[in-house]
A and B are shown apart, each in its own frame.
Chain A
Amino acid sequence: MANALEITGKKTLSYAEYFGSLNIQLWATLRAMPAALPLVGNRHRWRAAIYQMLDIGVTALPMVALLAMCSGFILAMQGAAELRRFGALHYVIDLVAVGFSRELGPLITAIAVSGRSGSAFAAEIGTMRVTEEIDALKVMAFEPVEFLLAPKYLAALIAVPCLTVVSNVFGILAGGLFMFFSTHLSLPLYFHYVLTSIELRDIVMGMIKSLAFATIIVQVGCLEGFRVRGGSDAVGRSATTAVVRSTFLVIVADAIFTAIFYSIGKM
């Protein structure tokens, strides 16, 4: 009994410590952010941020687009199978449009980015810890948070919402293709219906979510990297942990945001 309590207590403390470090790191990053901004900040950080944007955003485009197309088809087909029975096939358009702009677009993007970039951040920073590069940065009077984290965070805050828009477009396009092949609804007319069914609020909610997801992915990925102790095996583990934890936290955060938006929407 005492043992069970002890284990519970230890686990709770370790989670509390983890979220504490995550918060401390987030605040440190926010304080360092001005240095990464263009014009007012350090131009080397801004250049690093642009490289990161290309890496997080542009190279992930094909993958995110394909994932969104697939999920769009799945959503449309699963929805159509049920809705057809009630003769309400045209509701597939609403389902795909609203489902993607509010929910699936940000979520699919976040999962793709967490798998591609979250693990890369952890591995990069973890390797730099193992090879003493982080110590070298410190003794060369650079702040690791400003030097490494701020450009990544800025890049993610710009690239992830952009990717979310792309994912929305491709998901909804897949729904349109499905409608075209199953009911011969023309694509222009489909997009007209889509625009009447989604509101600006849906898009804004999706964008707020994607900003939160970007924060989670970058902060968790980098924290896992900074926590690497020991050798190269620890780097590999940190990359895995980064993906697992950030995906988990993204879904939890998604549930919380959706609950908040849902209760606001009812009022």
Chain B
Amino acid sequence: MSIISVRDLVVEYDGRRILDGVNLDIEQGEIMVLLGGSGSGKSTLLRQILGLERPKSGSIFIKGTDMTRCSQAELNRTRRSLGVAFQSGALFNSLTIKENVALNLREHTALAPSIIDLMVWTKLAVVGLADFGDLHPRELSGGMKKRAAVARALALDPEILVLDEPSAGLDPIVAGELDELILFLKGALQITGLVVTHELPSAFRIADRIAMLFKGKLLEVGTKEEIRASQHPEVRKFLNRTADNPVHAPALAAYLERYVQNQGAKS
């Protein structure tokens, strides 16, 4: 039984079909990378898996609970086994980094404050921010924010770690550090990972399996080697970074010519 399984998921916004019959299984202990360009529906799929939005049809099972039909209480119970780091970090700006990490522990467990302090320190140490706990999110750099968000996601020792675009907006070195962190967590905690990204190097570094999303449909799901060897034209385009609509030079020239003629006629 997969830890996450998505069945025939269809999502529509105002009649536009964003996800069209997506089926995906994520096994315990693997890192699944959801790869796709902008507008491919990967963020939508993520929001569906987190239960932030309800689909038009289909279902999503996380540890056997159907996230699309369960009650709010069941949803909240399932969410405690999920640790999520959002694209922007989504740290609470009014709290310090320590308080951000401690929030879940303080409110969802009955642990003593001294134990919570210790746990917060270990989580921050894992992501390399042990000395920065007393700062506010606005005082951190982009990469530190993302690492702090990972620390917060790890607070309740979740079985599943979900990362939305961990390397977006970071320089290659910091992005690389984050990839190593994800691999370290997988090795140390046997955590299941779901990582959404559009960065190829990062995807191929951390993934056990890759799911390639294009225009609301899953094109390919497979190991790194299978994806690399895929003959699907859209997958090849993505991997070879071929632009979809290169500027059509004759049309542009014709347009400019017309424009110049019009300007000339006016004056």
User: Does A197 count as interface, using CB distance less than 8 angstroms?
Assistant: no
| Interface of chain A residues 183 through 214 with chain B (CB within 8 A) | none
Q: Are B79 and A140 in touch, CB under 8 angstroms?
A: yes
Q: Are A132 and B79 in touch, CB under 8 angstroms?
A: no
Interchain nearest-CB distance for A98 vs B (Å): 43
Q: Which residues of B contact A135 (CB under 8 A)?
A: 47, 50, 52, 86, 90
A132 with B106, Cβ < 8 A, contacts A138-B52, A141-B80 known = no
Interchain nearest-CB distance for A55 vs B (Å): 12
Q: Which residues of A contact B82 (CB under 8 A)?
A: 139
Interface residue total, chain B, C-beta cutoff 8 A: 22
Partner of A140, one of B51, B93, B103: B103
CA distance A44 to B90 in the complex (A): 20
User: Does A82 count as interface, using CB distance less than 8 angstroms?
Assistant: no
Interchain nearest-CB distance for B128 vs A (Å): 21
User: Does B204 count as interface, using CB distance less than 8 angstroms?
Assistant: no
CA distance A132 to B153 in the complex (A): 14
User: Does A232 count as interface, using CB distance less than 8 angstroms?
Assistant: no
Q: Are B90 and A136 in touch, CB under 8 angstroms?
A: yes
User: Does A131 count as interface, using CB distance less than 8 angstroms?
Assistant: yes
Q: Are A44 and B86 in touch, CB under 8 angstroms?
A: no
Partner of B107, one of A44, A132, A138: A44
Q: Which residues of A contact B84 (CB under 8 A)?
A: 136, 139-140
CA distance A140 to B105 in the complex (A): 10
Q: Are B107 and A131 in touch, CB under 8 angstroms?
A: no
CA distance A38 to B88 in the complex (A): 34
- Per-residue CB proximity of B43-87 to A under 8 Å, as 1/0? 000010011100000000000000000000000110110101011
Interchain nearest-CB distance for A73 vs B (Å): 39
CA distance A136 to B90 in the complex (A): 6
Partner of A133, one of B87, B90, B107: B90
CA distance A139 to B47 in the complex (A): 10
Q: Which residues of A contact B50 (CB under 8 A)?
A: 135, 138-139
Residue of B nearest to A45 (CB): B107
A132 with B86, Cβ < 8 A, contacts A44-B106, A140-B103, A140-B104 known = yes
Q: Which residues of B contact A140 (CB under 8 A)?
A: 79, 84, 103-104
User: Does A15 count as interface, using CB distance less than 8 angstroms?
Assistant: no
A42 with B90, Cβ < 8 A, contacts A139-B52, A139-B82, A141-B76 known = no
Residue of A nearest to B78 (CB): A141
Interchain nearest-CB distance for B91 vs A (Å): 8
Q: Which residues of A contact B51 (CB under 8 A)?
A: 138-139
A42 with B107, Cβ < 8 A, contacts A136-B84, A139-B84 known = yes
Q: Which residues of A contact B88 (CB under 8 A)?
A: 131-132
User: Does B121 count as interface, using CB distance less than 8 angstroms?
Assistant: no
Could you name 8 residue pairs across A and B whose Cβ atoms are closer than 8 Å?
Answer: A131-B88, A131-B90, A132-B86, A133-B90, A133-B93, A135-B47, A138-B52, A138-B79
Since A44-B107, A133-B92, A141-B77 are in contact, a sample of 19 more A-B pairs with Cβ atoms closer than 8 Å, ordered by chain A residue number, is: A42-B107, A44-B106, A127-B93, A131-B88, A131-B90, A133-B91, A135-B52, A136-B84, A136-B86, A136-B91, A138-B50, A138-B52, A139-B50, A139-B82, A140-B79, A140-B104, A141-B79, A141-B80, A141-B108
Chain A residues in contact with chain B, CB under 8 A? 42, 44, 127, 131-133, 135-136, 138-142
By Cβ-Cβ distance, the 3 closest A-B pairs, closest first, are: A136-B90, A132-B90, A141-B76
